[in-house]
Amino acid sequence: MSLTEEEIINNSIVKVAIHGRIAGSIKIAALNDFFKLHFSEGRNKFIIDLHETDFIGSGGLGVVVEKSKESIDLGGEMVVCTLCDEMKELFRITNLDKKIKIFDTVEDAKAFFS
């Protein structure tokens, strides 16, 4: 897994692309560190682009849920976009699609925060 921070919008919205599988303790720690850094800098809104992610393990799902809740507690929100069919199904069967907004495109996710 690698993270590509592609854009910070109005110093509060972070758009990041996650590439590869989100599994394993080192990758999960990197994901935690990413959110911790942005929360500490006052950023609380996230657009997570998953177009190059085809697997999220249980630990990765835990981070997504935890950081989504933390973002909301800080007055922001996390949304995801460009999910492949496997990721859409994972979000559906875990009911994350009821807790985290899913958008088909990055542009739609950006418009949500406008």
| Sequence ranges of the domains in the chain | 2-113
What pTM does this model have?
A: 0.92
Sign of CA dihedral 71, 77, 82, 85: positive
User: What is the homologous superfamily of the domain 2-113 according to CATH?
Assistant: STAS domain (3.30.750.24)
pLDDT tens, the chain, 114 aa long:
677 777 888 888 999 999 988 888 888 999 999 999 999 999 999 999 999 998 999 999 999 999 999 999 999 999 999 999 999 999 999 999 999 999 999 999 999 998
For 8, phi then psi, to 5°, come to -120, 120
User: Among all chains, which residue has been given the structure tokens 């495109």?
Assistant: 105
Looking only at the bridges linking them, the beta strands covering 45-52 and 101-103 are unpaired
Cβ proximity of 105 and 82 under 8 Å: yes
Amino acid at 74: L
